[in-house]
Structure 1
Amino acid sequence: MSIVSTPLRDYAVRDGESLCGPSLPFADIKLLAGADQTEGRYALTKFTCTLDVPRHIHKLEDESIYVLEGEVLVQIGGSNYELAPGGFVFMPRGVPHSVKVVSKQFIGLGVSSPGGTFDGIVLDLASLREQGTEITPEILEAVRNQHGFYVDRASS
């Protein structure tokens, strides 16, 4: 993981915009702040999901989710959290977790700390898509693994 340190400067991202192009064909992820904007401190994303996020582990970052719309069931280790709009969950690094979308879709804000990990995945996938690369499950896994995100196959 490389963290880029640049002088902080103000900026804005308007509703519906993102700091990069689309990253995944099956989820709408908007990058609102990444390592480049926060001196590597955190990344902030807004996402719309209709599919479940499989049980996985982040080796390098802590992750938090704030629910804007919809309902989800978040499993962290042996704990289950049912969340609706206004709900928040913290998922520490190294602890397997998953997100099951209970409603038709789920819209949330995600904070990952430090930055450069999850936003690195988003940026790398967006770059590949801009180059015309189809994001296959194998490519997705390779990019995730480069940034310390591993699907927990033992419990899948």
Structure 2
Amino acid sequence: MRFFLLPAGGSRPAPTPPWAMVKATAEDTEGRFTLLEVNGEVDLPGRVQEVADEFVYVIDGAVEVDVDRTTHHLTAGMCVMVPRGVPHAIRTAGAPVHALHLLSHGAAGVGGKVDRGYVLARGEVRPGRIRLPPAFGVKARSSDTGGLFSLLEVTVAQPIPRHTHHVADECIYVLDGALEIDFGGTTYTARKGQFVLLPHGAPHAIRPGSAPPPRVVQISTPGGWELVVEALIEHRTEVSKGGRFNPTALNRYTTPHHVTYDTP
């Protein structure tokens, strides 16, 4: 079973530069992505990633990213998508930076084109089929990544009942607060700075474990979780009543996306 919960500051057993910790290796994710937690001063000179997209989400501090002869200054809450095949450089801007750095492997369904890259300001989201509430900030859609991953900034405000992702792994990094996770008959608590990998095919449930509720970065790989969120928000009066989800109603809209909820 590939499930694991890393402590804050923890790293997977893999070679790593002094300014980073490995939250998930390619082996952990069945070759889909590698995730680094950057904490320090970084200077990655101009280079080209031929086999991986790069996505950087700044938690604190600042970085400068050079893409196509333009320098982007990213501060807390901002992020950048750099497609494979595009020359770029990344470096800290003054004080050390705290960030998540995701390298998405695999054969993406789109090529390395500059117009597939983007920078999002704090609070800015990728456009979707419908407008989502502020609790769901879509930072990378499946259509942005060739289907390889989706990445959302989420506030987990109500319990998510026991369910199974039949295709995609769910990975969560806690930005603030505490998240409770029921997995394999045990309840785990993930706090600020912790990372958990929930493999596909394994039932689990999550719920807020703090007040205010936890804020997390949620990665789905392969992508598509934003489509599930859009469907549930569109039918929110049917799937949720009194702050509780109805598993039977949820399944009407999540089953087409390979997610099913346990029903009584």
The Cα shift of 1:113 comes to: 0.4
Query: Which of 159, 177, 186 lines up with 1:70 in the alignment?
Result: 177
Structure 1 or 2: larger helix share?
1
1:141 and 2:248 are equivalent in the alignment: no
> Is the contact between residue 125 and residue 135 of structure 1 (CA under 8 Å) also seen in structure 2?
no
What TM-score does the superposition give when structure 1 sets the normalisation length?
A: 0.80
1:26-84, CA deviations, whole angstroms, 9 ceiling, x for partnerless residues?
x8111111211111111100001221111110011000100001111111222332111
Which residue of the other structure, out of 92, 106, 109, is the alignment partner of 1:5?
109
Q: What stretches of structure 1 of length at least 5 have no aligned partner? A: none
Aligned to 2:219, the other structure's residue is in SS state: strand
Larger Rg: 2
Unpaired segments ≥5 residues, structure 2: 1-107, 240-247
**2:218 equivalent to 1:110:** yes
Match of 1:17 among 119, 124, 133: 124
Q: Does 1 or 2 have the higher relative contact order (CA < 8 Å, sep 6+)?
A: 1
Counterpart AA for 1:13: L
Please name the residue that 2:154 is paired with: 47
CA displacement at 1:123 relative to structure 2: 4.0
Greater strand proportion: 2
Hey, what's the Cα distance between the residues in 2 that align with 1:22 and 1:59?
A: 26
Percent pairwise identity = 28
| Whole-Å separation in 1 of the counterparts to 2:161 and 2:236 | 21
Within 1, Cα distance between the matches of 2:158 and 2:202?
21
Report 1:50-129 matches (<5 A): 50-104=157-211, 105-116=213-224, 118-125=225-232, 129=234
Runs of 4+ aligned structure 1 residues displaced above 6 Å come to: none
- In the alignment, which of 129, 139, 143 is matched to residue 36 of structure 1? 143
Change (3 A) 1:141 1:52: same
RMSD across aligned positions (CA): 2.3
Residues 134 and 46 of structure 1, relative CA distance in 2, 3 Å threshold: closer
Q: CA separation of 1:46/1:37 partners in 2, compared to 1, >3 Å: closer, same or farther?
A: same
Per the normalisation by structure 2, the TM-score is: 0.49
